Chains A and B, each alone.
Chain A
Amino acid sequence: MGRTVQILERECRNYIGQVSKTWTEFWFIPRDPFSMSVMRILVGWMVFYTTLIWGMRLEAFFNVDGFNSMEMINKNLLTNEGPFAFSFWYWVPEAWVYPVHYLSLAITFCFMIGLYTRVTSILSLIVVISYAYRARYANYGLDQINAILTLYLCIAPSGAYLSVDRWLKKRRAADGVLPVVQPTLATNIATRMTQLHYCVIYLAAGTGKLFGDTWWDGSAMWRGFANAEYQSFDLTWLAYFQPITEMITHTTIAWELSFAFLVWRPLARPIILLMGAGMHFGIGLFMGMWTFGFCMMFGYVTFLDPIKFKHVLEYFCRTSFGESALENPDSLAESSRKHNSKSPLPADYHQGVLLDRNPETSQKTIRDLKKQGYETAGH
């Protein structure tokens, strides 16, 4: 009996230890903030654009007795939904409405270009939430995704790359060389939270659809295409191709339900993300919800390895513009060295491989480096 208890105790300890190790490795390994910086530009643009469009009918949507009257907000939002649905618009006096709107535009613009990113990211989140709550009855998925992604961009140092902040740092540096961006815990936590949030979104969307019989009988996508108020193109010809719309229906729900499980599998991830991008592109193209579709796709950036993503963008910038537009070579090479800490690459790695536009000579450099025992991750 005593022996059995000992074995059980040991097994339990091993199991708890494994769980704890996996949890810590999932959340607490520092990560390069490149992907988050790219996402800041994309989401920042979307938040700025959303705010800009509100301004086209500011009176209609934000007037105290407009479409979203304060009477309605007080009676429904604050009483039914709860007193924590804060918006700075509740306290903005009449004369200050336009100045506050212009200030919000300036804040979101600064966030997009990465100026004082730490502050402007938090202020942009306040702007997104405040506009969304004040114009509650004109909201849809775009506002929700804007808020989610901006929240995580507040946590990560999203101005670390491709930002005015970075440019200012370079100007201030004595030798004019950009300081190396360090991988951070905050980036990893923000990245993981975005990834998990996407899993929750798609799982909720998928399970919600399981209640509907049209998602089972395959007619749901036809119903979506047949909604005249949504559609951008006449898709009635699809009525004659029933198997196609049924297949899209089944694929959509299978994809939504499996996203949370398959996206973590390395082999399935590219397929899952490409399918998602295709679905959101389709939503944009056929239902006119470009902004929502793009915003959902922006979050996919967090599923990409930041170092590889950086190298790919570097490559495209080089081939398109003839030189690196993202980073200076020193910091990129340094970044590669940091991620190969046990077998640091020689200084000519970047010059020989990453900046080499001739595939033959770059492959030769890689082979030489491998012979010397260096690891060239991703090549």
Chain B
Amino acid sequence: MNSNMTNTISDSNKPEVYRPQGLWPKVGFVVLNLWIVLHILAIIAAPVSVSPSSSVERGLWRTLAPYVQVLYQNNGFHFFAPNPEGSNSIRYVLEYEDGTLERGKFPNKQIKPRLLYHRYFMLSENLGQMNGELREIMIRDFARQLCRDAGAERITLLLEWHELALRERIMAGGSLYDEDLYEVTPLGTFTWDELSKSSKENVATTSAR
């Protein structure tokens, strides 16, 4: 392998650097340079504004937010940071008109392909991290969609936190699925009637029904 993978061409044979000739190409060249600087600042702005951040970093983010957001470059890239943590799942109990019950969970490994599994996984992870009014809205959204999918009359939702097993637990004969690693939080019980009513009350512009 050549020692330099990008600069394989010797200096004497390098393609020429672009040099603008004339007024308008020069103006264009200046604008292009400014845009490059702006873009670099923009892609830096999102990760540096993740908390904890300084007022300068937040100011940079606020200034460049429109540009960054339009292009969906507003990502912090803090993958598995600061620490890899346990995960959230949604457990639910569906009740049908005839009184039968059905228990379910998402994400679950029966959801295929894996990309779709991760979509569901992100839903439960997001719910686990939300609080306040937004959390309430999201719970109702989940309940409504699960009821609609199954055609159920009533649903009970639970948030399940699965704590990670420490190495010592495994070495002592434990498993990743030990009961004490799970913490369940009830999210509420909803009827289809109230869920569909609350849906109609909201302003709707799109639907894939």
Answer yes or no: A1 CB below 8 A from chain B CBs: no
What is the minimal beta-carbon distance from B84 to any residue of chain A, in angstroms? 4
* A174 on interface, CB distance cutoff 8 Å: no
CA distance A241 to B142 in the complex (A): 41
User: What is the chain A residue whose CB lies nearest that of B199?
Assistant: A65
Q: Count contacts on A: residues with CB < 8 A to the other chain.
A: 115
Cα–Cα, bound, A185→B25 (Å)? 14
Query: Is the pair B167, A70 in contact by a Cβ cutoff of 8 Å?
Result: no
CA distance A220 to B81 in the complex (A): 10
Distance A239 CA – B144 CA, assembled complex (angstroms):
41
> Chain A 173-209 against B: per-residue CB contact (8 Å), 1 yes, 0 no?
0000000000101000100010011001101110011
Residues of B within 8 A of A91 (CB): 205-206
Cβ-defined contact, A227 with B87, below 8 A: yes
Cβ–Cβ contact A138 & B119, under 8 A: yes
| Chain B residues, Cβ within 8 Å of A138 | 119-120, 122-123
- In the complex, how many angstroms separate the beta carbon of B59 from the nearest chain A beta carbon? 15
Do B86 and A308 touch across chains, with their CB atoms under 8 A apart?
no
Among B40-48, B96-104, B185-193, the stretch that binds chain A is: B40-48
**Which chain A residue shows the least CB distance to B137?**
A72
A144 vs B79: C-alpha distance in the bound complex, in angstroms?
A: 12
User: Across the interface, which residues of B come within 8 angstroms of A362, CB to CB?
Assistant: none
With CB as the reference atom, state the residue of chain A lying closest to B76.
Answer: A204
Q: Which residue from B15, B118, B206 sits with its C-beta under 8 Å from A289?
A: B118
Beta-carbon contacts of A328-372 to B below 8 Å, as 1s and 0s?
000000000011111100000000000000000000000000000
Q: Is the pair A342, B209 in contact by a Cβ cutoff of 8 Å?
A: no
Distance (whole angstroms) from the CB of B14 to the closest CB of chain A:
7
Tell me if A259 is interfacial: C-beta within 8 Å of chain B.
no
B69: A residues at CB distance < 8 A: 81-82, 84-85
- Closest partner residue, chain B, to A61 (CB atom): B119
Contact call A75/B84, Cβ cutoff below 8 A: no
Neighbouring A residues of B10 by C-beta, 8 Å: 375, 377
CB A28 to nearest CB in B, in angstroms, measures 4
Closest to A197 in B: B43
Bound-state Cα–Cα, A68 to B71, Å: 20
Q: Within the complex, what minimum Cβ distance (angstroms) separates A312 from chain B?
A: 10
CB-CB under 8 A from A214, the residues of chain B are 83-84
Our pick among B107, B142, B204 for the contact of A64 (Cβ within 8 Å) is B204
| A97-B208, A144-B75, A270-B5 known; A288-B43 Cβ under 8 A | no
Q: Indicate if the CB atoms of A227 and B86 lie closer than 8 Å.
A: yes
A residues 64-114 touching B (CB-CB < 8 Å): 64-72, 74-76, 81-82, 84-86, 89-94, 97-98
Could you tell me the distance between the alpha carbons of A183 and B72 in the complex, rounded to whole angstroms?
A: 29
**Contacting pair A29 B15 (CB below 8 A):** yes
Q: A60-B145, A377-B9 are in contact. List 20 more A-B contacts (CB 8 A).
A: A25-B17, A31-B15, A53-B116, A63-B209, A70-B204, A138-B119, A138-B122, A138-B123, A144-B72, A147-B73, A208-B50, A208-B79, A212-B81, A220-B84, A221-B84, A224-B84, A226-B165, A229-B107, A291-B114, A378-B8
Pairs A-B, 3 closest by C-beta atoms: A212-B82, A208-B81, A208-B78
A–B Cβ pairs within 8 angstroms, 29 of them: A29-B17, A50-B115, A57-B119, A60-B149, A63-B209, A66-B208, A69-B137, A69-B144, A72-B137, A72-B141, A76-B134, A85-B69, A90-B206, A137-B127, A148-B73, A183-B15, A201-B47, A205-B81, A214-B84, A220-B83, A224-B84, A226-B170, A227-B164, A269-B5, A270-B1, A307-B8, A338-B15, A339-B13, A375-B13
